[in-house]
Amino acid sequence: MPEMKQLDGKVMLVTGAGGGIGRAIAMEAAKAGAAVVINDIGASLEGQRESSAAAQETVAEIERAGGRAVASGDDVTDPAGAQAMVKLAVDAFGRLDAVVNNAGILRDGFFHKMTYENFDAVVKVHLYGTFNVSRAASDVMREQGSGSLIHMTSTSGLIGNLAQANYSAAKLGIAALSKSLALDLRRWNIRSNCIAPFAWSRMTSSIKVDSPEQEERVNRMKEMSPEKIAPLALYLASDEGADTTGQIFAVRNNEIFVISQPRPTRSVQRSEGWTLDSVRTHAIPALRASYVPLDVSADVFSWDPV
Helices 116-123 and 165-185 sit at what angle, rounded to 10 degrees? 30
User: Which residue among the candidates 128, 167, 235, 291 is catalytic per the annotation?
Assistant: 167
Q: Is 59 exposed, middle or buried (0-12, 13-18, 19+ CB in 10 A)?
A: buried
**Could you tell me the sign of the dihedral formed by the alpha carbons of 53, 91, 86, 188, in that order?**
negative
* Burial track 238-272 (b if 16+ CB lie within 10 A, e otherwise): beebeebbbbbbbbbbeeeeebeeeeeeeeeeeee
Dmax (CA) for the chain in angstroms is: 77
**Residue 167 designated active-site:** yes
Cα–Cα distance, 85 to 79 (Å, whole number): 10
Catalytic residues: 167
